[in-house]
Amino acid sequence: MTKVVFVSGNFNVLHPGHLRLLRFARDLGDRLIVGVQSDRIAGDAAHIPESLRLESLSTNSYVDECFLVDEPVENVVGRLRPDVVVKGNEHREYPNPEAEVLSSYGGQLVFSSGEATFSSLDLIRRDLEDAGRVVRSLPADYLDRHGIDVAGVRELVDGFGSLSVCVVGDLIVDEYVTCEPLGMSQEDPTIVVTPVDTTTYVGGAGIVAAHAAGLGAGVTCLTVAGEDEAGAFAESQLASLGVDAAFFVDGVRPTPLKQRYRAAGKTLLRVSRLHQAPIEAFVREGIVARFEEIVESCDLLVFSDFNYGCLPQDLVDDLADRARERGVPMVADSQSSSQIGDVARFRGMDLLTPTEHEARVSLRNQQDGLVVLAEKLRITSGARTIIMKMGAEGALLHREDVGADIHTDRIPALNPTPRDVAGAGDSLMISSAMATARGANPWEAGLLGSVAAAIQVDRMGNVPLSSSDLHRELA
């Protein structure tokens, strides 16, 4: 015989206290039914509309059935005749109208033990107070050391709309497959999941270009794609985001596709579908020709290198020479995670933004401290400024000696609780680069880049930045 357990309440926000209560109740029987108080019955205690409260309960794995309660709960108990009614410990000392109904047919009233106290209203108020904010506070000591006026930084952001930016590099399409874990296979030690949702984003040079467009700039993206579904998706997405994308098709190259399989907020597996050989000569020539058409009006050239073959050295040198002749600022990032790159090959850049790992790989240097490492990379590459990305430790900023008192500084990570770190480096690089193109000093550029990274890691997947995002955090 099926043992039925019943729980009722407002359930404004499903907090840990609710989850403990539901788990406790589910363990008492075979079937858990939950009654959600309607807006009329809950009155002022209903802070969230009844439809949303009901929906959140219906997706909970402990709950077998849920419905709205629009009458006294004892009437519901009398009709359902559950074996057990469970209530939180906070109700133990108060009248419980269900008790009399339960005793009439031999049901049981149980108060859950070990219950933590949470206030749904406090949680809602906290969310409203912090709505949209990611950076709780800017680093005051860093601002003081460099005499940074936040109002002046906001003016830099306002000026992004006057920039004409060219982004060249590897296009990537990122696919996030959300899975529900089913358990461990009985045949071999393998985790078994089932996919429940797929979300696709533009990545690589594409998201760098999309960030720049979202921040207000006019943007041209020169990249390589395949004649495939991923390429068509990227072309459509970039057009919708206001990016003038020139896709050069190499018949033997698929559009790089990175798939991330995730469950419970964690990445279980990454699958990359790509071709890493250098692009064909005719593609290189096409990119150079297209850049020559726009270089006269270009305010910033960005190399977004993922080492998938889109930026062979001769192409980098050709584009850099043409930009240098016309005084166009240049910025480069060369990623080395699952692949090997060399950020120092981008010579004469105004800004390089490697990770510590990428800097060490490029210089084959595992022994020096960070400041020495940054200076050696700056000398080897001829860069003016290095922003070394250090993940949860923030970033190290190092500039050429121009007679200033400070050549190196650290800025802490401005979002200590990231949701998805993918794309943080791209957002930091393009925001710092655009600030540099607008005349910002390295310290201002580093601050803007760090704020942009903090925003990006608070999102799942690559979502383009906007100037309003930066203004919100710089308020």
* CATH number of domain containing 77: 3.40.50.620
Amino acid at site 266? K
What would the two tokens of residue 64 be? 């077998």
* Confidence check: pLDDT of 188 > 90: no
Which residues of 76-163 form beta strands (DSSP E)?
84-87, 108-111
- Check whether 253 has a pLDDT greater than 50: yes
pLDDT tens string 207-234: 999 999 999 999 999 999 998 899 999 9
CA gap 146, 435 in Å, rounded = 16
Q: For the chain, what is the domain count? A: 2
**Within-domain flag for 404:** yes
Same-domain status, 112 and 63: yes
165 in the same domain as 42: no
Q: Please state the rounded mean pLDDT for residues 340-355.
A: 94
Residues 118 and 186 in one domain: no
Structure token digits, residue 7? 């729980």
- In this structure, are strands 395-399 and 351-352 parallel, antiparallel, or unpaired? unpaired
Split at pLDDT 50, 70, 90, the class of 127 is low
- Asked if residue 133 belongs to a domain, the reply is no
Q: What is the pLDDT of residues 18-27, one digit of tens each?
A: 777 888 888 8
Higher-pLDDT residue of 115, 434: 434
**Same domain for 166 and 265?**
yes
Same domain, 117 and 165: no
Q: Which of 99, 127, 155 is the last residue of a domain?
A: 127
**Run of H or E including 26:** helix 16-27
Pair (53, 158) in one structural domain = no
- Give me the percent of the chain exceeding a pLDDT of 70: 94
For residue 25, tell me if it sits in a domain: yes
Residue 408 confidence (pLDDT): 92
- The predicted-structure confidence for 138-158, as pLDDT tens digits, reads as follows 999 999 999 999 999 999 999
Q: Are residues 259 and 113 in the same domain?
A: no
Condensed to tens digits (0 to 9), the pLDDT of residues 50-65 reads 888 888 888 888 899 9
Average pLDDT, the chain: 89
What's the burial of 460, exposed, middle or buried (CB within 10 Å: 0-12/13-18/19+)?
A: middle
What pLDDT does 223 receive?
A: 96
Please give the pLDDT value at position 265.
Answer: 75
Same domain, 368 and 296: yes
Q: Which residues of 120-141 are buried (b: 16+ CB within 10 A; e: fewer)?
A: beeeeeeeeeeeeebbeebbee
Looking at the predicted structure, is the pLDDT value of residue 111 above 60?
A: yes
**What pLDDT score does 115 carry?**
45
Q: Do both 119 and 168 map to the same domain? A: no
Domain that holds residue 198: 146-473
Q: Which of 127, 156, 180 is the last residue of a domain?
A: 127
Whether 139 is in a domain gets the answer: no
Per-residue pLDDT, averaged over 97-109, amounts to 93
Residue 439 has phi, psi (to 5 degrees) of: 95, 10
Residue 132 has pLDDT above 70, yes or no: no
Is residue 196 within 8 A of residue 329, CB to CB? The reply is no
Q: Binning pLDDT at 50, 70 and 90, where does residue 193 land?
A: confident
Q: What is the Cα–Cα distance from 121 to 105, expressed in whole angstroms?
A: 36
In a 10 Å sphere around its CB, with 0-12 CB exposed, 13-18 middle and 19+ buried, how is residue 300 labelled?
buried
Q: Is the pLDDT of residue 123 over 70?
A: no
Chain centroid to Cα 120, Å, comes to 27
Per-residue pLDDT tens digits for 276-326 = 888 999 999 999 999 999 999 999 999 999 989 899 999 999 999 999 999
Task: Label residue 118 by pLDDT band (50, 70, 90).
Answer: low
Last residue in a domain, options 97, 127, 157: 127
Report the C-alpha gap between 304 and 457 in whole angstroms. Answer: 19
Indicate if the pLDDT at residue 8 is higher than 80. Answer: yes
Query: What is the pLDDT, as a whole number, of residue 313?
Result: 96
Residue 136 located in a structural domain:
no
- What phi, psi does 93 have (nearest 5°)? -90, 5
Q: Would you place residue 183 in the very low, low, confident or very high pLDDT band (cuts 50, 70, 90)? A: confident
CA 462 to chain centroid, in Å, comes to 6
pLDDT tens digits, one per residue of 432-456: 999 999 999 999 999 999 999 999 9
Both 300 and 352 in a single domain?
yes
Helix extents (H) in 364-423 = 370-381
Higher per-residue confidence, 74 vs 117: 74
167 vs 199, more confident: 167
CB 10 within 8 A of CB 39: no
Whether residue 414 sits in one domain with residue 317:
yes
pLDDT of residue 430 exceeding 70, the answer is yes
Please say if the pLDDT value at position 116 is more than 60. no
Report pLDDT for 274: 81
| Average pLDDT value for residue range 96-115 | 84
CATH number for the domain harbouring residue 423: 3.40.1190.20
Judged against a pLDDT cut of 70, whether residue 121 lies above it is answered with: no
Lowest mean pLDDT among 255-264, 294-303, 374-383, 398-407: 398-407
Would you place residue 114 in the very low, low, confident or very high pLDDT band (cuts 50, 70, 90)? very low
Q: Are residues 79 and 188 in the same domain?
A: no
pTM of structure: 0.70
